[in-house]
Structure 1
Amino acid sequence: MNAKAETQGSRLDSVKLTLAIALLLGAVGAFYYFAEASLLLRVLGLLATAGVALAIMAQTAVGRRLLGYLVETRTEVRKVVWPTRQETIQTTLIVFAMVIVMGILLWLLDMFLLWAVRLLTGQAG
């Protein structure tokens, strides 16, 4: 009996997801079809339809998993210890310094290789 209920639930979920996708595609199509209408009205219509499509999608198993994932992600982001302004500035300055040092080293390597190639090909001075 559970297998039958799962099959009906998954079929209903598929119908809901298909309806949500069809609504989104229809909204995008209408956005461009009514190009002569006010941009504000077209954007509001697109956003309203997207909201309805997301509400329909949230009623499916996939939508519930996605919402759960988003809630867990938000919780994890709140646990992150963000660097202070001073730490960020110091790290940025270190990165700039290393970029300058590597640029100078690569320039010196390039000059050396240019000198070596000219010497080997007989084009030197």
Structure 2
Amino acid sequence: MTSTVEVKGASLDIAKLAGAALLLIVGIFAFYYFAPWSALLRVLGLLVIAGAAVAIALQTEPGRALWQFIADARMEVRKVVWPTRQETIQTTLVVMAMVVVVGLVLWLFDTVLMAILRFLTGQGG
């Protein structure tokens, strides 16, 4: 068996990703170069350039894989059974109560250990 490696597609993907990165760098440079201009115009220009860079990056194999991953993640999030408001409130109250209880237990443990340490070292009243 022989396997062939597709070098042409990979090099084209690298060129597209490099172009997208260069476009972002140029956009950031332009954002600061045109500092005297309106901030709104600079932000809009940067958003347009960033959108173009993302569009170019999504035309590559890694870009398509990332987009597929995002789509799969959204589909999985839709399958989640989210708790009701009442369940969320009850769970939050239980967590807050346990934080207080554990805090008190740790404080008591610290106090007892400190008293033992003071007794053993002869410090304190």
Q: Is this a same-fold pair by TM over 0.5?
A: yes
Q: What are the ranges of 5 or more consecutive residues in structure 2 without an aligned counterpart?
A: none
Q: d(CA) in 2 for partners of 1:124 and 1:58?
A: 70
Task: Please give the secondary structure, in 1, of the residue aligned with 2:35.
Answer: coil
**Which residue number corresponds to residue 96 of structure 1?**
96
Structure 1 residue runs of 4+, over 6 Å off? none
Matched to 2:13, the amino acid is D
Task: Please give the secondary structure, in 2, of the residue aligned with 1:35.
Answer: coil
**Which residue number corresponds to residue 66 of structure 2?**
66
User: Post-superposition shift, 1:3?
Assistant: 4.1
Matched to 2:53, the amino acid is A
TM-score (norm 2): 0.93
User: Post-superposition shift, 1:111?
Assistant: 1.0
**Which residue number corresponds to residue 50 of structure 2?**
50
Matched, 1:109 2:109: yes
Q: d(CA) in 2 for partners of 1:65 and 1:96?
A: 41
Matched, 1:7 2:16: no
**Which residue number corresponds to residue 28 of structure 1?**
28
**Which residue number corresponds to residue 41 of structure 1?**
41
Q: d(CA) in 2 for partners of 1:117 and 1:33?
A: 65
Matched to 1:22, the amino acid is L
Matched to 1:52, the amino acid is A
Render the CA deviation track for 1:37-93: whole Å, top value 9, x for unaligned. 111011101100011111111111111111111110110010011100000000000
Q: Across the two proteins, how many residue pairs are aligned to each other?
A: 123
Matched to 1:81, the amino acid is V
Matched, 1:76 2:55: no
Q: CA RMSD in A?
A: 1.4
TM-score (norm 1): 0.93
Matched to 1:101, the amino acid is V
